[in-house]
Every structure is written in structure tokens, then in C-alpha cells.
Amino acid sequence: MFKLVNNCLNFRQSIFQAQCVFCDVGLNNSQLSICTACLASLPAASDNDCPQCGLSSGGTLCGHCLKSPPAFDATYALFRYAYPLDGLLQKYKYGNALVMAEVFGKLLSSARKAFPPPDLLIPMPLHPQRLRERGFNQAVEIARVTARELNLALDIHSCKRIRFSTPQATLPLKQRVRNMRNAFVCNRSLEGLKVALVDDVMTTGASLHALASAVRRAGAASLT
């Protein structure tokens, strides 16, 4: 099904002039499907964020990471979750705007070129019931593009979400860690590998911490 949708999107782009996904202006260069002006308007991530969890901290390790460090070593965020990016992500995630996976994946791969490459990309898994409801995994589709652009290995099968729980976005911040407890398993050895986890949105980092914990147990040497 996903292959058919992507083929339709590719066919549409081949016979019509590409348009910016934000403002619909025509594009001569459709490499990113976003015009220069809209790209410049996106809310870039701040250098003042905690390098480990990505929360605002003045650029140093925050108190929470010093006291209770998450299972991942560092966070690389492209943007803040703010206008107009927030609306676009909602459209992608809940409006089946799959073309946005290409945009986000290429932006992510462009930013990651400045860092040492990981051995493996693992996108955030969805519980099978949630996957049936949504029809696609938004993190997987972004990771597919990133892996392709950077020629990285992609693993979408080894880590699974085994607990179906309340969506994180509907919960108070303090309940999100409890909601993710024992939510993931990893069924292959990742001994000694440098692993990068991919997700579309990170708020408190509770979901990524839970996934990273499972990947750590599988033997990963480093996690970003």
C-alpha cells in the first residue's frame, strides 16, 4: 500500500510543477519541496539546549540529566516544536501527508552529515494496533529517507513496541515516563554498535528513553 501511495506521489510530481509544502509557491528546484523563504522561517533548534536531552538549559547538561541521565547519550534536534512546523507535523502525522517524510528525511540527513555516522538507524516503533489505526509509522518513513540519503543501515524490525498505552501527547508530563515503562523490546544483538534513534517529535524524551533502554540492553555501545 505504501509503495502504491509513494508511486502516485512521484507520478504527480513528475507531471505537475513542484510546489512548496508550506506556501504552495512553484519550485524550480524540487529537491526539498520547500521554498527558500519558508525554509528560513522554520524555528531552528537552539544552541542553549541540553546536549543530552535537548531541553532548554543554557547549553550545558541540565540538572535532570546530571541527576538521572537518560539511556541515550545525546540529542540532535533540527527544530523547535513551534509555528509553522507544529502544524505541518500534525498534517503529516494525522493527515496522511506522506510527501512530508521526504522533506523531513532530507533535512535530517543534511544536518547529520556534519556528525560521525552511526552503524544503524532505528526509528521509533509503533504498537501494531496504533499502526493499524494510523496506516503508517511516521518515524519509519522519515528514517527511510535519511538512511537512503546517508547510505546508512536501517532496522525497522528488531525493536518492537509491546505495550499499547495512552498516547503521550494526552498525558501530563509527570505521567509520561510511567506510561512508557517496559513498552519496548529489542530481539537482536546490537553488541558494540553505534545506534541513532529517529522520531518525529521529542517533548520530555520519555518515549526515546524507554526505547533507548531496550536498545542498551541489546548491547548498543552508544545512542543518539
Set out the domains of the chain in order of their start, with CATH numbers.
1-41 (no CATH), 42-223 (3.40.50)
Closest CA to 10 of 98, 115, 92: 98
Confidence of residue 35 (pLDDT cuts 50, 70, 90): confident
Task: Assess whether pLDDT exceeds 70 at residue 180.
Answer: yes
Q: Rounded mean pLDDT of 106-135?
A: 93
Which residue type is seen at 128?
A: P
Q: How confident is the model at residue 65 (pLDDT cuts 50, 70, 90)?
A: very high
Question: What is the β-pairing status of strands 194-198 and 222-223?
Answer: parallel
Amino acid present at 77 = A
pLDDT more than 90, % of the chain:
53
- pLDDT cut 70: percent of the chain above it: 90
pLDDT at res. 14: 45
Contact (CB, 8 A) for 139 and 198: yes
pTM of structure: 0.85
